[in-house]
Amino acid sequence: MMLLRGRVMSCGMCGVVRGVRASLSTSTTSITPQVCIIGSGPAGFYAAQHILKNHKTARVDMYERLPVPFGLVRYGVAPDHPEVKNCINTFTQTAAKDRFTFLGNVAVGSDVTLAQLREAYHAAVLAYGAAKDRTLDIPGESLPNVISARRLVGWYNGLPEDANLDVDLGIESVAVIGQGNVAIDVARILLTPVDLLRSVSLCSKTDIPEPVLSRLSESRVHHVSLVGRRGPQHAAFTIKELREMVNLPGCRPHLHPPDYTHLRDLIPELPRPRKRLLELLAKTALDKPDAKLSAAYASATRTWGLCFLRSPVEVMAGPAGEVTGLKLALNRLEGEMGQERAVHTSEMETTECGLVLRSIGYKGVSLDPSLPFDPRTGTIANEDSRVKGHQGLYVSGWIGTGPVGVILSTMTSGFSAGKAVVADIDSGRLDVSHSRDGQECIRDLLVKKGVDVVSFDDWNILERHEESEGMRLGKPREKVTSITSMLDIMHH
């Protein structure tokens, strides 16, 4: 009787009959470690891959709030960079494993709590990324047409929550606050001729949804300026993205040569990747382009520029409340080489623009008040992927590291989390001496709540639909951007 009571209490959401069955079986069979992963982006899938490969019996259940998997690989990667999405093939292979289950359309925190998951599983891996924007906290930031670059990326990638983004592209000039790869991605998409977005040369056609392509075809944007608080030597974009901007058809760079003259003195002392980036930046700004580029620039109707040592202090508004410009503080750099910080001076200037895109980083949110969450960094405190003060709880990706790096660095983080889980199971640091019901227990709870849980087979049905619609339009896929429509297609 004590066995029965103890087993039922270990997962209070499950029925008594299941508790009896589990209690009777645990004495004669080895216990299967039950692991859940929250989030189905690269951080989640790489952690799952490592656990399944390195532990012979562990089960992995992956929970995702959207009905579709892959996170930022599906909704964050630039649509004209389809090669970056090739990791989806590896993730699909992981999802096909017998010991893996995908549970989509389940919002952890509302449909099921973290506490309930921890009760049902031996280990839980938090891999849900950094979904909240950092803000400028300046006057005028709440005006229409001041939006985050993350939401614009979501819009042109078909993310359901951003599918109806209210962005006015009937303006001529855009200011992007930030100089990372996301900033340069949104600039490139806004400036690329729509005919090329429909059929990108040198790679497959993009999967930008047709309604977005229609809106982009009506765009009047002719100039995009990327604003950074420090100098060109601190720009965070990579050489691939810069090279694409330099060679963007129908567009030419508009760079202020005095901003770049000092770079050639810095370049010899820099590591190779940084050296190559700044060499291209200096060459573009200071040297005459070759004959081919010169001819292309001569006929270009759109421009882009980089604005350095500037910090936004106010978004300017017109009489109807529309964005008319950006007030900028001029900065100076203080500190040792490599550790310079930008400090406002008393000088100000105003640049005209009709759209302001904020691209100054993301931060995570806390799923549960018990977590050691730092609201300043938007991360969960951890050591070697193990959440501090919480046995059996782990982090993978940006919720543990902050929004840094690319998919390769997220893979490293995912493998690190998976390695920690396996090591703790094998060493006994993680107690797996008592069986847990895992998804069986959670599904009962979700059924009672009326949650429409999506399987990976359901996702495959939607994917075939998107690919079929895409083939009809001559593109890789036509994304379904409504959750209701996704569920209808999956289940009918």
Distance separating alpha carbons of residues 236 and 274, to the nearest angstrom: 10
Same domain, 191 and 203: yes
| Strand boundaries in 144-244, DSSP class E | 146-148, 173-177, 223-227
Same domain, 162 and 250: yes
Domain end residue (candidates: 360, 392, 424): 360
Determine, yes or no, domain membership for 243: yes
Residues in the chain where the model's pLDDT stays below 70: 1-29, 199-204
The pLDDT value given to residue 334: 92
CA dihedral 455, 459, 462, 466 (to 10 degrees): 170
Same domain, 301 and 351: yes
At 117, list the tokens: 């998951």
What angle do the packed helices 272-286 and 239-246 form, to 10 degrees?
Answer: 20
The pLDDT value given to residue 204: 58
Same domain, 274 and 323: yes
pLDDT digits 0-9 by tens, 120-170: 999 999 999 998 899 999 999 999 999 999 999 999 999 999 999 999 999
Determine, yes or no, domain membership for 488: no
Determine, yes or no, domain membership for 465: no
Question: Domain total for the chain?
Answer: 2
Determine, yes or no, domain membership for 120: yes
Distance separating alpha carbons of residues 417 and 409, to the nearest angstrom: 13
Same domain, 217 and 323: yes
Give the structural domain span for 367: 2-131+363-454
The pLDDT value given to residue 310: 97
Distance separating alpha carbons of residues 303 and 196, to the nearest angstrom: 17
Considering all CA atoms of the chain, what is the largest pairwise distance in Å, rounded to the nearest integer? Answer: 87
Tokens 């310079």 identify what position? 340
Rg of the chain taking only CA atoms, in angstroms? 25
Same domain, 425 and 293: no
The pLDDT value given to residue 4: 32
Tokens 């087993």 identify what position? 7
Determine, yes or no, domain membership for 491: no
Distance separating alpha carbons of residues 384 and 159, to the nearest angstrom: 32
Nearest Cα neighbor of 452 from 481, 489, 400 is 489
Same domain, 346 and 397: no
Burial readout 130-166 (b: 16 or more C-beta within 10 A, e: otherwise) = bbebbebeeebeebebbbbbbbbbbbbbbbbebbeee
Determine, yes or no, domain membership for 367: yes
Same domain, 105 and 207: no
The pLDDT value given to residue 25: 37
Determine, yes or no, domain membership for 324: yes
Determine, yes or no, domain membership for 385: yes
| Strand boundaries in 112-161, DSSP class E | 123-126, 132-133, 146-148
Nearest Cα neighbor of 42 from 408, 305, 400 is 408
Which CATH number goes with the domain that contains 54? 3.40.50.720
Same domain, 273 and 325: yes
- Is residue 106 within 8 Å of 284, Cβ to Cβ? no
Same domain, 118 and 173: no
Same domain, 126 and 147: no
The pLDDT value given to residue 8: 36
Runs of H (alpha helix) within 229-339: 239-246, 263-266, 272-286, 291-298
Domain end residue (candidates: 360, 377, 396): 360
Domain end residue (candidates: 360, 380, 399): 360
Same domain, 299 and 437: no
- Is residue 392 within 8 Å of 183, Cβ to Cβ? no
With a CB cutoff of 8 Å and minimum separation 6, the contacts of 242 are 184, 277, 280, 281, 284
DSSP 54-73: H-SS-EEEEE-SSSS--HHH
pLDDT digits 0-9 by tens, 318-374: 999 999 999 999 999 998 877 889 999 999 999 999 999 999 998 899 999 999 999
With a CB cutoff of 8 Å and minimum separation 6, the contacts of 120 are 11, 13, 34, 36, 436, 437, 438, 439, 441, 442
Which CATH number goes with the domain that contains 221? 3.50.50.60
Distance separating alpha carbons of residues 39 and 29, to the nearest angstrom: 31
